[in-house]
Structure 1
């Protein structure tokens, strides 16, 4: 079932062609408000890592719905965001009252029925939605116009699909394409040469990045970057692909002067301004 010959590389040239320009007359409303449901008592840092990635990636405003205990830990580092106290728990209880340009849920959240109820309420809306970490499980998704983007590492992909990690690693692109079509979602299969497969059969791989990314929290940062880029790109496909690519280039910039052993995930967001400027 190999589809390797149908997989193309997303390159520097593609990034330069598709990164959006920021019009001089734009304002925060131009780029919209994003919702991030992330961070729990046991994993508070995930909300901060995702939030930093999002705020650095082109959105207008960010609402972080997180556990009450997490907020005072984040605000001193990320005062630019606004906060929805116990937001992901509240999202599990009732449909969202506000509309958003894009939403993400799952970073630092437990794999519980409450989280899946929150997922149901988020995807009932009409904006692009990213599902990460605790939001990833074996399930089906409703038909909708805006994309659902799932971001599994191999273990999470196996949990979602029943495909063994051993089989998956023999044909990452093939399985990503098959399940993107079956679930009608965009799949960002993380790992060396991350695969991005779309429901229509389009599939790309990313060669940017290095082993510095093999550390906890880098996936949370990527989720945030995708969320922000969905707000400033006209085309959701380009937002996802560019976020994956620039995330990798940030790691490459780090290793120009530092050991790959030493990267901390929040430093990717700190490097992004320099990396993004290279492609403008």
Structure 2
């Protein structure tokens, strides 16, 4: 039994899980915007399956990450609950709408739209990280608006848990950046659980890949916890932005291939 379990683990997925978890813990960003395009490009998953598997991995990983951030006292539970009131039901409805698509031709179109949405969400993530103008625009939106937009993106693409939650909590929520990162982890945990249950109940999930990713996650978290207090916010932002950028370039290529443009 143990040998069968070990042989089913993918060393490349374990390595990927290590780096994914490191970046998610440090920045609060990456559970969707980095993992989803990476699963599509590196592991050849269909977009819907990538969203489902990424969300399940994000849920399991963030259970452990929440414990780590809670011990450091950075999680603001009150603001986190307030954000989820609207975001959670919108997330569930958006994810459910994807599972209702059964026509093969329509499925191809939906997959292309999903890749495009992930790409756009990724570009929004990079813009919000490095452009003051985007941060100013986000800061003008109410927490309810940002919550609803996050739920829509999260349900359809698995992206949004960090992309919009961190800016929302640090602007409209009034939290410091590090407190917003810490609070975004349990918020993303709940959202990822909702998405993974919605897809998993329809049989859309790659459990073997998720298991390999989680091995890398467990190995990385002790190191990530130590680095969180030592890395500056600027360093974390640059490292995360670099990996997201590389993942999005690969996603662009995969999207063009699916449209037979290259």
TM-score range, shorter chain: under 0.3
Higher helix share: 2
Question: TM-score if structure 2 supplies the norm length?
Answer: 0.27
By relative contact order (CA 8 Å, sep 6+), the higher-ranking structure is 2
